[in-house]
Amino acid sequence: HPNSDYDLDTPIPTSASGLRQGLTSYGDAHFSLFLRKVFIKALGYSEDALSRPIIGIVNTYSSFNPCHANIPQLIEAVKRGVQLNGGLAIDFPTISIHESFSSPTSMFLRNLMSMDTEEMVKAQPCDAVVLIGGCDKTTPAQLMGGISANKPIVHLVTGPMMPGSHKGVRIGACTDCRNNWASFRAGTIDLEDISAINEELAPTAGTCGVMGTASTMACILAALGMMPFKGATAPAVSSARLRIAEETGKLAVQAAATKLKPQQLLTRESFLNAITVLQAIGGSTNAVVHLLAIIGRHPDIAGTITLDTIDEIGRKTPLLVDLKPSGQNYMNDFHNSGGMLALLRRLKPLLHLNAMTVSGRTLGEEIESTPLIPVPQDSPTMCIQPFEKPLYDASSLVVLRGNLAPGSAVMKASASKDRRLLRHKGRAVVFANSADLAMRIDDPNLEVEADSILVLQNIGPVGNPGMPEAGLIPIPRKLAEKGVQDMLRLSDGRMSGTAGGTICLHISPESADPDSVLGIVRTGDIIECDVEQRLLHLELSDEEIQKRIESRKQESGPIGKAAQQNTRGYRGLYMRSVNQAHEGADFDFLTAAGPS
């Protein structure tokens, strides 16, 4: 066996090849295998069962995770697929992360989950592994860990939830969570309505039913060739989802035979395809961070694809999928429109069709050979636009730079609610951190106008571990009540993929970095943002900026990483090791390059 440290072919009469992987030797490899068999037999497996390729199934079920509520049925269906095709399926747990039950933030735990996944996949004797995830941070964590472990893997996502309904209007997590909450804040809907809406926003198991991070990552996994096309969109509660799970089991048995590992399978072209899809679906800004972290794990590709690549691809990629928050529809509409297969067919001129997929066929071969029943363009459920009639011409996600963001900043321009703000100059209203924001944003005496620029500092990877999704700064109540729905907002944090507005995120270096420019912005400063020019500019001279940076260093003492040398536990590890958003907010020691 390729992963075996020893030639174990003769002394022990067994054909259980999978069991030979990564044997701990106790100083005697044959005894180790003998012992391993003693214990696996305690689970009731026969020699016959153990002679099959072993397919691990990662179980991320948790009663705290509604996005993963269907995992028990999915595991059963994957096992059926594995065993009908001659493999032995063995499931094992890794941690489960849900967006709402992961204090301080789910992003804080993503790297932990990726370590858990990598180490458990490496540690246990699997010939191939099915990674079942769904909620935002779980699929990126699994792919990061899977690439680093570099055993054959196939992804299966739990699938999107169905939309609910309120007073005859479809609603769904979580774009409508935010819209309705904003209306409640503005006083246009009452307590009775908002309570009824609360019951309907997440009416079934599964991941958020719009083009948030979970859906975006699912589409990216399909574009990368890590799972079947339909796997990206079939509803969590559909029988199609279970058939996809069964097919995933079959694919994993094939992957065990071909031994196609993610570091071989995934090439630069695979990731360029993923970025094209990201732009064409109006995907989540979080996916940008995740993709950079995933790419950073790949020894041959790390560093060759950057934010500039994402911006460049955006310039030639139209937004074709009409889903909230950039558009109007829900994931089940995308599924009923033909899903990823229909989208990839339209995007063919922009794709690298020779990229490989887990099936052992190229993306082009998969697109050609998968049957598609075409949906008429004028059908009411159709939500994929033709190439000639896009929802947004190009550059759904843009990368901004300038003296305020020398590293970079990211904006989902297609989700802007007031397009005039895409080119805007105004007076900064600065909040030092989330607590300061919470305290002052609704203060009737806050000096703020509709054309002010709201700036939130210290919600970056180190400044507020996990980079919370606080980048969607609420419109000050007094302006919301006057009907203001969008303002230009800037921060070093993230925003939910389900949110919309003219929001500039992931500014680096973050405020907690002693050399950050974002960290020295003051209320009253003038800021200019020009998306067409990809510019984020602070109207201050270089000398004044340097002067403020130096005096901040002197006044504040050590900040950021330097202040974390004695912080204990995972939090300490996180704060000392996390890299910036444009590098994926991964731990430096987990990247392919290792700590710098």
From ligand FES, Mg ion, none, which one binds at residue 135 (CB under 5 to 8 Å depending on kind)?
A: ligand FES
Rule CB under 6 A: say whether 208 interacts with ligand FES.
Answer: yes
| Binds 295: which of ligand FES, Mg ion, none (CB < 5-8 Å by kind) | none
Least Å from the CB of residue 159 to ligand FES? 10
In angstroms, the CA 397 to CA 286 distance is: 11
CB of 206 to ligand FES, least distance (A): 8
The nearest distance, CB 216 to Mg ion, in angstroms, is 9
Report in angstroms how near the CB of residue 324 gets to ligand FES at its nearest.
13
Residue with Cβ nearer ligand FES (46 or 103): 103
* Stretch 141-180: interaction string toward ligand FES, x if CB under 6 A: --------------------------------xx------
Q: With CB under 6 A as the contact rule, which of the stretches 208-216, 283-291, 505-513, 518-526 interacts with ligand FES?
A: 208-216
176 binds, among ligand FES, Mg ion, none (CB under 5 to 8 A by kind): none
C-beta of 23 vs 131, nearer to ligand FES: 131
268-280 helix and 285-296 helix, angle to the nearest 10 degrees = 180
**Closer of 98 and 261 to ligand FES (Cβ):** 98
496 binds, among Mg ion, ligand FES, none (CB under 5 to 8 A by kind): Mg ion
**136 touches ligand FES by CB under 6 A:** yes
Tell me whether residue 59 or residue 215 sits nearer to Mg ion (CB atom): 215
Cα 18 to the chain's mean position, in Å? 32
Considering Cα of 369, then 76, then 140, then 511, what sign does the dihedral take? positive
Decide: 363 and 351 in contact? Cβ < 8 Å: yes
CA angle 293, 298, 301 (to 5 degrees): 100
Measured CA to CA, the distance from residue 112 to residue 130 in angstroms comes to: 19
Does the footprint of ligand FES cover residue 311 (CB under 6 A)?
A: no
> Contact at 8 Å (CB) between 443 and 468?
no
By CB under 6 A, tell whether 260 contacts ligand FES: no
Q: Does 233 bind ligand FES (CB under 6 A)?
A: no
State which of residues 74, 126, 214, 472 lies at the interface with ligand FES (CB under 6 A).
214
Query: For residue 185, which of 476, 508, 430, 415 has the smallest C-alpha distance?
Result: 476
Q: Which amino acid is at 362?
A: T
Question: Which residues touch 459 (CB under 8 Å, ≥6 apart)?
Answer: 433, 434, 467, 468, 470, 471, 491, 492, 493, 511
Contact 420, 519 (CB under 8 A): no
Residue 510 contacts ligand FES per CB under 6 A: no
Residue 370 is classified by DSSP as: S
Number of alpha carbons in the 13 Å side-chain half-sphere of residue 416: 25
Footprint (CB under 6 A) of ligand FES, residues 55-84: 67
Distances (CA, A) of 566 to 176, 466, 561, 570: 42, 19, 11, 12
Which residue number, 137 or 489, has a Cβ lying nearer to ligand FES? 137
Going by the DSSP 8-state scheme, the letter that residue 387 receives in this structure is T
Stretch that binds ligand FES, among 206-214, 371-379, 391-399, 448-456 (CB under 6 A): 206-214
Segment contacting ligand FES (CB under 6 A): 207-215, 252-260, 367-375, 573-581?
Answer: 207-215
Q: Is residue 225 involved in binding ligand FES (CB under 6 A)?
A: no
CB atoms within 10 A of CB 440: 15
List, in sequence order, every residue forming a beta bridge with 454; answer none if it has no partner.
429, 489
Residue with Cβ nearer ligand FES (170 or 478): 170
Site string for ligand FES, 81-110 (x = CB under 6 A): -----------------xx-----------
Tell me the closest approach of the beta carbon of residue 569 to ligand FES, in angstroms.
26
Binding-site partner at residue 207 among ligand FES, Mg ion, none, CB < 5 to 8 Å by type: ligand FES
- In angstroms, the Cα distances linking 414 to 200, 220, 393, 418, 593 are 27, 18, 9, 10, 34
Our finding on whether 219 is near ligand FES (CB under 6 A) is no
Q: What share of the chain is helix, strand, coil (3-state, %, to 5)?
A: 40, 15, 45
Q: Which residues bind Mg ion (CB under 5 A)?
A: 136, 212-213, 496
Question: Residue 439, exposed/middle/buried by CB under 10 A (0-12, 13-18, 19+)?
Answer: exposed
Binding site for ligand FES (CB under 6 A): 67, 98-99, 135-136, 173-174, 207-208, 212, 214
